[in-house]
Amino acid sequence: MFEEIEKYAQENFIPIIRPLSRQLLCEQVKNLNPKKILEIGTAIGFSGLLLLKSSKAFLTTIEKDQHRAEIAKNNFKKYGVEDRVKLICDDAMNVLKSFANNNEKFDFVFLDGPKGQYYRYLPMLAKILNKDGVVFADDVFLHGLVKSNLPIPHKSRSMVNNMRKYLLLLEKSNCFDSKVLDVEDGIAISRKIDEL
Q: pLDDT digit string (tens) for 72-128?
A: 999 999 999 999 999 999 999 999 999 999 999 999 999 999 999 999 999 999 999
- pTM confidence score: 0.94
3-state secondary structure of 129: strand
State residue 3's pLDDT score: 83
State residue 6's pLDDT score: 83
**pLDDT grade for 1, boundaries at 50, 70 and 90:** low
Class of residue 129 by CB neighbours under 10 A (exposed 0-12, middle 13-18, buried 19+) = buried
Domains and CATH numbers, the chain: 3-192 (3.40.50.150)
Q: pLDDT tens digits, residue range 122-164?
A: 999 999 999 999 999 999 999 899 998 888 989 999 999 999 9
pLDDT exceeds 80 at position 195: no
E runs forming strands in 19-105: 36-40, 58-62, 85-88
Q: Which residue has the higher pLDDT, 27 or 143?
A: 27
The residue count of the chain comes to 196
State residue 12's pLDDT score: 86
Task: Report how far residue 128's alpha carbon sits from residue 106's, in angstroms, rounded to the nearest whole number.
Answer: 6
State the average pLDDT over residues 46-60: 97
pLDDT exceeds 90 at position 196: no
Q: Which residue has the higher pLDDT, 124 or 196?
A: 124
